[in-house]
Amino acid sequence: MELKIDRVTKKYGSKIACDRISTTLHNGVYGLLGANGAGKTTLMRMMCGLSKPASGNISYNGIDVSQEEYRDMLGYLPQNFGYYPEFTAQDFMMYISALKGIPKSRAKAKTAELLEMVSLKNEARKKIKTFSGGMKQRLGIAQAMLNDPQILILDEPTAGLDPKERVKFRNLISRMGADRIILLSTHIVSDIEHIANTILVMRSGQLIHEGSLDEIISVIDGKVWECIVSSKTADELSLKYPIINTRNENGSVFLRLVSDEKPCENAENAQATLEDLYLYYFNEETAEDQAI
Amino acid sequence: MNMFFELVRFELKKILRRKRTVIVLAFAVIVGALSVFGTVIGTYYYTDENGSEVAISRYEDDMIERQDGEALSGRVIDADLIMEAVEAYKSVVPLENGNYIGTSQYQDNARKYSEIYGIVRRTFHLSSLAEFQNLTRGQAEQFDAVRRQNMEQTIMNGAASENVRKYQQKCLNNSSATLTYEYWGGYYRFVTIMYTTALMAGAAIAVMLSGIFSDEYTSGADSLILSSKHGKGLVIGAKLFTAFSVSAVLIALLSGISLIESFIVWGTNGANASLELVSGVFPYPLTIGQAVLLYFICMLAGSIMFAAITALFSAKLKLPFNTIVIMTALLIIPLFISIPEGAPVWISCLANLLPVGMFTFWGAMFEFQYEIFGLVIPPYIFLPVFALLVTCICSYFAGRGFKNHQIT
């Protein structure tokens, strides 16, 4: 059981969105990490057959992404998924079931089960236009699981979920990942940290790292520092290094930052986390995003 | 198969739950239902021989016409009937302005023969009332011969190929030697009203189906559909089937309403009358009932073709509004283009292939035929076949457009 991505490239005009990406995914949960515009969504769309690569192939056990057989094994939650405002949650689930070729009787049972799982059982007969953002997102998660997919691709699945729902979702994904491939992208680094067996890091359309959490953060081992400095020094350091955390402490400033070398005299090494790695790699993009 | 119809059910649900659908559908059905009655609302005014203005409601006028027509129904148009009409018209003395409709002689004696008067004038190319009044029995006896001679002349003069001429001659040989009059008011009103009703239905189809594909793009549901098992196959078929069904049902519904209402007001007479009675130029060997049925088939095929073109634009243009604009233009623009007399026949033949052409009775019964590789096909057969062909081509490209839609 392997999902093979072989030298996949996608261009939009002169911009390369994905640049010769190659990897092989096996059963388990994969977290896709990258700043805005890194190419995560483009890669996911290509993996769902929604966007044709300029070159390269994507296949699951030899079945090409363009085939109906591939789509039969696929569950997908797009970043901003479209729904029919006048449909009820039940209608919507039944429609997606029909699209996925699930017989009516099985679809009904599966719909009831999934709506209960995402806490929408009591809202099954309500029109989607009356739903909050979080409710719509939960409905999106439910529809992706209707066909019990072998490949589950989730683009920003936890966006809009409250903390309780997020924890519930993470547990669910962890359970499901045992016998299928799950690829999820999110900006919420802690979600990936908690559930992903393997983390894929994308930058400027390229896959720059792939590995377990420990393997990934080993890249910045010894580069995360904590220090307490004056406000003036804090300002100077924040111009030079990616700051992960800052807080006032008795007139001084506590800083957690990423740096190749010791940033100041009293700085001490700290245990690296995925968030540190994210900031280390995507500091520039994050700064640009903030400027925008 | 069950899955296909399950998808069709959802496509139908999507269409019918759109606000714009509810509005145009309600408008089309209400206007369609009222249009028949619209033709009998109002009053005719004419001046009698005393110079007084006489008013008669359109409904009353139509009922007199129906009564007169039904009284004559079943009579062979022969020398006896023609001379009866001539005698009745002889009593009519036109007013100074040449008008005679208001005179009591016309209303009391001649009016009941007005249909016969029209047929005889058309056959003998009479230009005035006086010429009709002076028609002799000898001329009247030549009615069928002159009628046939006219049609033979049409065949000879038409800019048609040898194959077409042979076909027309064959039709002529199959036509009856005599002509029997039948009142066909119900069918006449139906074919007249259906033209505008079908145009309105076309506009409703454009609005209802403009989003059949493009609403998926604008709502973002395309990602879910195209990544699903049936998203690039069965669902496209279901969408197109739904589009064709919606347009066919709408046309059938509006036709049904118009036909029933026309029958209620003007009666059901005339189904077995020869088409020749109403089309003197070159009539097909059909009864009026058969001709109206064939017209309905052309209209149905035209509406399905229109739905297929709408679906194609919907798949290609991404925005429903753009599709509505183009499809409305396709309906309206031909109405403002008149083909000049003397223009080559093929221009009219081509114009009849537009959806608007298929919505007219005279488009389906057009006196010129289509010739493909030596095979002569009358318009009432060619139009539906052509519509089917265009439907297949548009469906293929619409499906391909949706299937290959790239989400960026």
- In this structure, are A280 and A232 located in the same domain? yes
Domain boundary among A194, A214, A234: A214
B104 touches chain A (CB under 8 A): no
Number of domains in chain A: 2
Question: Residue A251's pLDDT band (boundaries 50, 70, 90)?
Answer: confident
The verdict on A51 and A196 lying in the same domain is: yes
Using only the alpha carbons of chain A, give its radius of gyration. 21
Domain shared by A232 and A262, yes or no: yes
- B6 interaction partners in chain A (CB closer than 8 Å): 98, 104
All residues of chain A having their beta carbon less than 8 Å from the beta carbon of residue B236 are none
Domain boundary among A214, A245, A271: A214
CA-CA distance, B367 to A127, in Å (whole number)?
Answer: 55
CB within 8 Å of A116: residues ≥ 6 apart: none
Q: Are residues A259 and A133 in the same domain?
A: no
B67 shares contact with chain A (CB less than 8 Å): no
Q: Are residues A270 and A237 in the same domain?
A: yes
The beta-carbon neighbor of B408 closest among A51, A72, A95 is A51
Nearest to B221 among A83, A101, A104 (CB): A83
Assess whether pLDDT exceeds 80 at residue A284: no
Which amino acid makes up residue B171?
C
Cβ-defined contact of B227 to A76 (cutoff 8 Å): yes
The set of residues, in sequence order, having a beta carbon less than 8 Å from that of A100 and lying 6+ positions away, is A72, A146, A147, B228, B229, B230
* Neighboring chain A residues of B226 at a CB cutoff of 8 Å: 48-50
B260-275 b/e (C-beta count within 10 Å ≥ 16 → b): ebbbebbbebbbebbb
Task: Name the helix (H) or strand (E) containing B359.
Answer: none
Question: How far apart (Å, rounded) are the C-alpha atoms in residues A274 and B243?
Answer: 52
CB contact set of B321 (below 8 Å; sequence gap of 6+): B210
Same domain, residue pair A209 and A224? no
Is there a single domain that holds both residue A208 and residue A227? no
Sequence-ordered alpha helix ranges (H) in B267-378: 288-317, 320-332, 345-351, 355-358, 361-364
**Contact (CB, 8 A) for B290 and B165:** no
Phi, psi of A12 (to 5 degrees): -115, 100
**Partners of residue B13 in chain A, C-beta under 8 Å:** 87, 91
- Return the pLDDT at B159: 64
Q: What are the DSSP calls for B96-151, one per residue?
A: TTS--TTSHHIIIIIGGGHHHHHHHHHHHT--SHHHHHT--HHHHHTHHHHHHHHH
User: What chain A residue is nearest to B233 in terms of C-alpha separation?
Assistant: A68
At residue A289, the pLDDT reads: 47
Q: How many CB pairs under 8 A join A and B?
A: 91
CB B216 within 8 A of CB B18: no
Cα separation, A105 vs A250, in Å, equals 65
Contact between residue A256 and residue A226 where contact means Cβ atoms under 8 Å apart: yes
Cα separation of B137 and B148, whole Å?
18
SS (H, E, C) chain A: CCEEEEEEEEEECCEEEEEEEEEEECCEEEEEECCCCCCHHHHHHHHCCCCCCCEEEEEECCEECCCHHHHHCEEEECCCCCCCCCCEHHHHHHHHHHHCCCCHHHHHHHHHHHHHHCCCHHHCCCEHHHCCHHHHHHHHHHHHCCCCCCEEEEECCCCCCCHHHHHHHHHHHHHHHHHCEEEEECCCHHHHHHHCCEEEEEECCEEEEEECHHHHHHHHCCCEEEEEECHHHHHHHHHHCCEEEEEEECCEEEEEEECCCCCCCCCEECCCCHHHHHHHHHHHHHHHHHHC
DSSP-based three-state secondary structure for B197 = helix
Across the interface, do B224 and A82 touch by the CB < 8 Å criterion?
A: yes
Chain A residues in contact with B233 (beta carbon < 8 A): 68
* Minimal C-alpha gap between A98 and chain B (Å): 6
Q: CA nearest B218 in A: which residue? A: A82
SS3 annotation, A100-127 = CCCCHHHHHHHHHHHHHHCCCHHHCCCE
Nearest CB partner across the interface for B230, out of A45, A48, A99: A99
Partner-chain contact A76 B223, CB within 8 Å: yes
Q: What pLDDT score does A145 carry?
A: 94
pLDDT tens over chain B, length 408 residues = 688 999 999 999 999 988 899 999 999 889 888 888 888 888 888 777 777 778 888 899 889 999 999 999 999 999 999 999 999 999 888 777 777 887 888 888 899 999 999 999 989 999 888 899 999 999 999 999 998 888 888 877 766 788 888 888 888 887 778 889 999 999 999 999 999 999 999 999 999 999 999 999 999 999 999 999 999 999 999 999 999 999 999 999 999 999 999 999 999 999 999 888 887 666 788 999 999 999 999 999 999 999 999 999 999 998 999 999 999 999 999 988 888 877 887 888 889 899 999 999 988 988 888 988 889 999 999 999 999 999 999 999 999 999 999 887
Instruction: Report how far residue B279's alpha carbon sits from residue B366's, in angstroms, rounded to the nearest whole number.
Output: 10
A101 & A165 share domain:
yes
B1 and chain A in contact, CB less than 8 A: no
- For B221, nearest residue in chain A (alpha carbons): A82
Q: Is B231 on the interface with A (CB under 8 A)?
A: yes
**Surface of B (4-23) touching A: CB under 8 A:** 6-7, 10, 13-14, 17-18
Q: What is the pLDDT of residues B253-300, one digit of tens each?
A: 999 999 999 999 999 999 999 888 887 666 788 999 999 999 999 999
A111 touches chain B (CB under 8 A): no
CATH of the domain at A177: 3.40.50.300
Same-domain check for residues A179 and A226: no
**Tokens 């069918």 appear where?**
B187
- ipTM entry: 0.89
Q: Which residues of B touch A78 (CB under 8 A)?
A: 220, 223-224
**Residue A96: burial class (beta carbons within 10 Å; 0-12, 13-18, 19+):** buried
**A 207-236 → B contacts, CB under 8 A:** none
- Contact list in A for residue B222 (CB cut-off 8 A) is 50, 82
- At B362 the three-state DSSP class reads helix
Picking from B362, B300, B301, B310, the residue whose alpha carbon sits closest to that of residue B331 is B310
Is residue A75 domain-shared with residue A197, that is, in the same domain? yes
The distance of B308 to chain A (nearest Cα, Å) reads: 22
CA B6 vs CA A105, A143, A220, B238: distances in Å: 12, 17, 54, 9
How much is the mean pLDDT over chain A?
90
To which residue do tokens 């003036």 refer? Answer: A232
Q: B interface mutation test: which of A11, A41, A50, A136 has the most B CBs within 10 A?
A: A50
Backbone angles phi, psi at A257, to 5 degrees: -145, 165
The last residue of a domain, from among A166, A189, A214: A214
State the Cα–Cα distance between residues B392 and B396, nearest whole angstrom.
6
Instruction: Tell me if A126 sits within 8 A of A136, measured CB to CB.
Output: no
Comparing alpha-carbon positions, the chain A residue that sits nearest to B13 is: A87
Q: What is the DSSP letter of B51?
A: S
Is the CB of B174 inside 8 Å of chain A's CB atoms? Answer: no
Residue A49 Cα, gap to closest chain B Cα (Å): 6
CB contact under 8 A, B223 and A50: yes
Q: Do A76 and B224 touch (CB under 8 A)?
A: yes
Of the candidate ranges A7-11, A283-287, B65-69, B346-350, the one whose mean pLDDT is the lowest:
A283-287
Strand (E) or helix (H) holding B48:
none
Calculate ∠ Cα A63-A68-A71, nearest 5°.
Answer: 80
Interchain contact, A98 vs B220, CB within 8 Å: no
The predicted model scores a pTM of 0.88
**The pLDDT of residue B280:** 64
Q: Are B178 and B76 in contact (CB under 8 A)?
A: yes
**Whether residue A145 is found in the same domain as residue A193:** yes
**How far is Cα of residue B121 from the mean position of the Cα atoms in its chain?**
25
Q: Residues of chain A with pLDDT > 70: what percent?
A: 97
A252-258/A224-229 β-pairing: antiparallel
Q: Does A37 touch chain B (CB under 8 A)?
A: no
**Domain limits at A189?**
3-214
What one-letter code names the amino acid at B386? F
Whether the Cβ atoms of residue A170 and residue A163 lie closer than 8 Å to each other? no
Provide the pLDDT for residue A292.
38
SS3 B375: strand
CB B326 within 8 A of CB B314: no
pLDDT of residue B281: 67
Query: What's chain A's length in residues?
Result: 292
Please indicate whether, in this complex, the C-beta atoms of B223 and A72 are within 8 angstroms of each other.
Answer: no
One-character DSSP codes across B230-257:
TTTTHHHHHHHHHHHHHHHHHHHHHHHH
Residue carrying the six token digits 């003007």:
B266
> Is A72 in CB contact (< 8 Å) with chain B?
yes
Over chain B, what is the mean pLDDT?
Answer: 90
A90 pLDDT tier (thresholds 50, 70, 90) = very high
Which among B3, B222, B231 is the nearest to A82, CB-wise? B222
Residues A152 and A135 in one domain: yes
Nearest-by-Cβ selection for B224 from A51, A68, A81: A81
Element (H, E) at B56: strand B53-57
Comparing CB atoms, the residue among B14, B222, B228 nearest residue A96 is: B228
H-helix or E-strand spanning residue B167: helix B162-174
Q: Among A88-92, A127-131, B96-100, B396-400, name the one with the lowest average pLDDT.
A: B96-100
